[in-house]
Structure 1
Amino acid sequence: MADTQVGNNVVIEENVTLGKNVIIGNNVVIYSGTKIGDNVIIQDNAVIGKQPTRAKASILPETNQLPPAIIGSEVTIGTSAIIYANCKLGDNVFVADLATVRERVEVGEYTIIGRGVAVENDCTVGKRCKLETNCYITAYSSIEDYVFIAPCVVTTNDNYMARTKERFNNFKGVTIKTGGRIGANATILPGKVIEEDGTIAAASVVTKDVYREELVVGSPAKKIRNVPDEQLLRNQER
């Protein structure tokens, strides 16, 4: 820890592993066993490796102590961000201020998680994605590589809206495959699949799967045309 910069009022619990050139801001809490790579920046008031707390009325099962969080190299974690236990951030991930990444989430390299974004439990997020300000990624969702999700997008996983026991066996997040793009304020209903390069216009409500390279618009969202060739992921410089 000789080359680590540590701010004021920092709590680092036992068995935390810190790489080279780690910068830790003021009032940061890093929980036991967390592994942090090289050249990581953790800004003020961030919490890393937090164990989940279950509400008394929660339908989620109780969990024992989860494995520690793993933070790759060259990662930046913003002010007041919370990274839960059993979360893995790949190299060069950027987590902005006030974002929350829950337990059993894995985030691929070079992905950006914007200000105020919530990634709920049991999700996967691929590499080089952009999850922009205040979007909500519901539990049990799968996001592949090069996905763009605009501000204030909402994804959902419960068609029963918390009524009847039938819902317990039917929770299902959304799947957004490689190159999928979601416009601002769009809503995606439970279990829907956005195929490769599928694109959803702003403020649309997605009630059906979106096929490969389709552009859909409206409420409910309907195809209006294919995505132009010059907009397809395969035609971009990466």
Structure 2
Amino acid sequence: MIHITCPDTVTLGENVVIEKGVTLGENVQIGHNVVIKSGVVVGDGSIVLDGSILGKLPAKAGLSATTGEVVELPPLILGKNVTVGANCVIYRGASVGDGVFFGDCATVREDVSIGELTIIGRGATVENKTTIGMRCKIETNAYITAMSTVEDYCFIAPSVAFSNDNYLGRTEERKKHFAGPILRKGARVGVNATLLPGIEIGQDALVAAGAVVTKDVPPRTIVAGCPARPFGEVPEEQLIENQTFYIR
């Protein structure tokens, strides 16, 4: 018999696969055709919609430079009141805070932490070794590359692309320099913008739509263009500290 911790208040759909050592909290709802791998913890009140996979182990491609050898990873932990949309894949070794929302078809890799009340949009990808803060919005089809940092209250528009390899897959030298972008608290990135490896977007800075960011952006600065250049300062009324939803 496979052992799971499953209160009477849990609702399970059809064709659900639950491996050993899974813990489901009170009032959890699991949709049809969901796969929950061993050791996963799903917090109270969470919802996992049809076709999602929780706790998937990474598979290392022969030429992958950022996926390490497959080692023992801690279990995937979902906090309370998390919503996982249909056909999402969330890997073992991720940690998800309370109230996080995943749109349909989102993917989150191993060694990722996501803070409370953050939104990961439909089809967005968060690669391994990445930290995302609380109350962020990462919208549809955004690509967050491995080894990135996104601090609290950041906004990332649809189809934004992060990068972490200035050598574009050539030479062993590149492995010494891998680094994803860093977004400081309250930074915003417009639709279709591209951030080069290791770039730091300062607190409350704004990257305009379609910009290609090749240099660090100072705090509270607007940049635009290809390559991105300073365009002005973020208006006082738009600063994160002046928003009604901001919690100090």
When the two structures are superposed, what TM-score results if normalisation uses the length of structure 2?
A: 0.95
- Give the aligned partner of residue 25 of structure 1: 31
Take 1:26 and 1:177, find their aligned partners in 2: how far apart are those partners?
A: 39
TM-score in terms of structure 1 length:
0.99
**Equivalent of 2:73 in 66, 84, 100:** 66
2 CA distance for matches of 1:180 and 1:36? 30
Match of 1:5 among 3, 11, 14: 11
- Say which of 46, 52, 58 aligns to 1:46: 52
2:241 match: secondary structure: helix
Structure 2 counterpart of 1:86: 93
CA contact (8 A) 2:135 2:154 kept: yes
- Specify the alignment match of 1:95 in structure 2: 102
The within-5 A match list for 1:1-238 is 1-59=7-65, 60-238=67-245
Deviations 1:163-194 (A, max 9, x none): 11110111001100000000000000000000
Looking at structure 2, the residues matched to 163 and 5 of structure 1 have their Cα atoms a distance apart, in angstroms, of: 49
Three-state SS of the structure 2 residue aligned to 1:17 is strand
CA distance in 1, matches of 2:30, 2:206: 39
Give the counterpart letter for 1:38 in structure 2. Answer: D
How many residues are paired up? 238
Deviation at 1:55, TM superposition (A): 1.2
Provide the C-alpha distance between the structure 1 equivalents of 2:142 and 2:36, rounded to a whole number of angstroms.
25
- Structure 2: gaps of 5 or more residues: 1-6
Distance 1:145 1:209 in 2: 19
Q: Distance in 2 between matches of 1:149 and 1:74?
A: 23
Offset from partner CA, 1:174-231 (integer Å, 9 cap, x none)? 1000000000000000000001001000000000000000000100000011001111
In angstroms, what is the RMSD of aligned CA positions? 0.7
Give, in whole Å, the separation in 1 of the partners of 2:38 and 2:182.
33
